[in-house]
Amino acid sequence: MGYSLSLPPSLFLSNSRIYVVNLPQEPPPSLQLEPDYKHPPATATIFELRPQSGVQLQLSGTIPKEVGNFTSLVFLNISNNSLQGHLPAEVGLLHQLQYMNLQFNELSGEIPSSLSRCWKLRQLSLNGNKFNGSIPGAIGNLSKLEELYLGENDLQGRIPQEMSNLISLTILSVPYNKLEGPIPGIFNISSVQKDAGMPYLYSSGYK
């Protein structure tokens, strides 16, 4: 059994405090993600779609710019779907966000530099998409970032020097891109997780 859903903009204009959508194994004849109206939008702290065991969830469409209305959002997980289009710049309005997991979708375009305004981010997972362009140097402003996953995209250029400001970083994963040039020695090796004596920097596809 499976579901095919989209993210309507009205969902992000809603008043729900927590969106953890548990989907039953038997799909109903029709299903729409619609808002409820119990709390003001700024109080939403969690957005996650969580199918039960054995349920296949396929979320399609785009991430609407209205996602920026969830200004108190702490946890965002809409990974492993078929979302397309650009990641809207309005994600930079999510100043309380600590975890963003958008891995394994079909998102494209450049990674928005507005992510640098998500100052509390601790984990950012954008791997397994179709992002292109360069890694924005503004990500170096995320001083609380501990884990950064950018592998399996179409990123080009070099790892920007500004990322030396990521003083909390322990994991950087960038395999299977089109990055080039030497891996810069900008990270504090004593704080970056090591694997077989090397920094935990996946380098497959790095020239």
Which domains are assigned to the chain?
A: 2-202 (3.80.10.10)
Distance of CA 133 to CAs 153, 162, 184, Å? 10, 16, 19
d(CA 22, CA 158): 41
pLDDT at 35 > cutoff 70 = no
pLDDT at 151 > cutoff 60 = yes
- What is the pLDDT at residue 26? 45
pLDDT at 96 > cutoff 60 = yes
d(CA 195, CA 162): 24
**Average confidence score pLDDT of the chain:** 73
Residue 60 burial by Cβ neighbours in a 10 Å radius (0-12, 13-18, 19+): middle
* Residue 187: count of CB within 10 angstroms of its CB: 20
What share of the chain has pLDDT > 90, as a percent? 35
Give residue-wise pLDDT tens across range 154-193: 999 988 888 888 888 888 888 888 887 666 555 554 444 4
* Residue 49: count of CB within 10 angstroms of its CB: 20
Structure-model confidence comparison of residues 96 and 70, the more confident one:
96
pTM: 0.75
Judging by DSSP bridges, how do beta strands 198-199 and 194-195 pair with one another? antiparallel
- What is the pLDDT at residue 48? 62
